[in-house]
Structure 1
């Protein structure tokens, strides 16, 4: 699955954000987020409640995605750090250049995707040498609420990554 799965307009917007975004420096404040921070105020723990057994012989997993109940724009344009699991969708050579950051192992592949407000599309100019599907990573970069529809799920957020590191 390549970049053709999202619209050209979305791909251009992500690429433009990556070019305009300043390089991370020691003086810039990085906001540490967790997955509950992406949910509307008053909601918590949604990601854990979505995990469960999937009937793989039924309809496509994307069609089983629950509807998002709202989005947060508090961190639009800010540099954030968010841990999660990588679902690669675009490669350059052996490095990943676009992926979904998901809150739990199996999301979008083995279980239905979580709501769009629990999925982040990550784009990076520097290919990341992934160790495989669902690698745990910390992503640091410019954050934005930006709805997009991919073949495997609807996504509510985007990060133009400046740094991707294994998360232990």
Structure 2
């Protein structure tokens, strides 16, 4: 076999295995649905009710909702790299963007309507601040997920996520 033919075969083999190497990283990221964060036995009925209210102004709810207590959280995704879409509720932000926020399953949660149960909220710490344009724009957060209770000024939160990537959600 000639040297040029060997070189061609090496390049062809490298090109053929490149998609496999790229795919292996993507296969390690688990896309989560919000329903997976509600442990069995915790029905999340109030969450469905709150979603039906829509976005309202502060003080305009006709019922005095407090944050419903979550029965528990799930540990099934601890330490996993996950992808989760949702809405940003900013906690720490500056000129370069939002570096810490609550990820919520619906727009207006914790701000215009009572917060959902703690097992439906994720505290996100972003390595790179996210340049948020609008509270109504959904995002997709990818990073390492953990089950751990945290109290913020807005809500009790059941999960945390160390975000390696935050981007606008495109569906």
| CA distance in structure 1 between the partners assigned to 2:152 and 2:136 by the alignment | 18
Which of the two has higher C-alpha Rg? 2
Change (3 A) 1:119 1:72: same
1:94: how far off? 3.1
**Equivalent residue for 1:27, pick from 17, 21, 24:** 24
Change in Cα spacing, 1:102 to 1:74, as seen in structure 2 (3 Å) is same
SS at match of 1:64: coil
CA contact (8 A) 2:42 2:71 kept: no
* Alignment-derived partner of residue 3 in structure 1: none
Are the equivalent residues in 2 in contact too, given 1:77–1:143 (CA < 8 A)? yes
Contact 1:36 1:43 survives alignment (8 Å): no
Q: CA deviation at 1:43?
A: 4.6
Which runs of no fewer than 5 residues in structure 1 stay unpaired? 1-24
1:134 Cα deviation from its structure 2 partner: 3.6
Aligned residue number for residue 49 of structure 1: 49
Structure 2 gaps of 5+ residues are 1-21
Q: Structure 1's 26 and 161: CA in aligned 2 closer, same or farther, altered over 3 A?
A: farther
Structure (1 or 2) with the greater helix fraction:
2
* Equivalence for 1:165: 167
The 2-side partners of 1:27 and 1:128 are apart by 26
Residue aligned with 1:37, SS? helix
| Structure 1 counterpart of 2:8 | none
What is the match of residue 14 of structure 1?
none
Q: CA contact under 8 A between 2:38 and 2:44: conserved in structure 1? A: no
Report the Cα offset of residue 132 of structure 1.
2.0
Q: Does 1:77 align with 2:79?
A: yes
Counterpart residue number, 1:39: 38
Q: Could you list the structure 1 runs, at least 4 aligned residues long, displaced by more than 6 angstroms after superposition.
A: none
1:66 Cα deviation after fit? 0.3
Contact 2:97 2:132 survives alignment (8 Å) = yes
Instruction: Report if the CA contact (8 A) 1:146-1:156 is conserved.
Output: yes
- Give the 5 Å matches for 1:66-105: 66-105=68-107
Q: TM-score, normalised by structure 1?
A: 0.76
